[in-house]
Amino acid sequence: MPPILWIHGDCLRSTNPALLVHPDAPAIFVWDDALLMQYHISLKRIVFMYEALLELPVTIFRGDVVTQITQFAQHHQADTIVTTASPAPRFAAICGQLRQHYKVLVLAEPAFVAIPINTDIKRFSRYWAVAKSQLIPQPHKKPSDS
């Protein structure tokens, strides 16, 4: 049986590993009602994500993630769900629930930047301070003409 793809908010781009490995598989994105309520996601962020979703070959649903993915898998007669890794604890919990009935393949995400393991990244600004040096070329200083 062919798999279905679960595309989540941590990898909304055409180079999502799941989309690259299975370009013809049916894909689902679920607006997670519980997450939206818990984290009070701003309308600006929701619009940003929705615009990204419109560029992807996904079917968009809203509600309980496990329920929606399960119904989608049943509809497509799939026994395997392919997704892309996420560091979110909620992601791990959802995968655990899905694994009760499906084979779940979690594909690794290539690292965006190499961050030393001991870096304090509790705030985005700390992460960015380390990451930007790898992403934005620094101008080369020219030696003085002395």
Domains in the chain: boundaries:
4-107, 113-140
In this prediction, residue 109 carries a pLDDT of 82
In this prediction, residue 79 carries a pLDDT of 97
d(CA 77, CA 134): 44
In this prediction, residue 144 carries a pLDDT of 60
- Cβ contact 16:110 at 8 Å: no
Beta strands (DSSP E) in the chain are 4-6, 27-32, 59-63, 80-84, 103-107
pTM: 0.78
What is the number of other CB atoms lying within 10 angstroms of the CB of residue 16?
21
| Two tokens, residue 126 | 């700390």
In this prediction, residue 85 carries a pLDDT of 93
Which positions of the chain have pLDDT values less than 50?
Answer: none
In this prediction, residue 114 carries a pLDDT of 73
Coil, strand or helix at 117? coil
d(CA 81, CA 98): 8
CATH class of 4-107: alpha beta
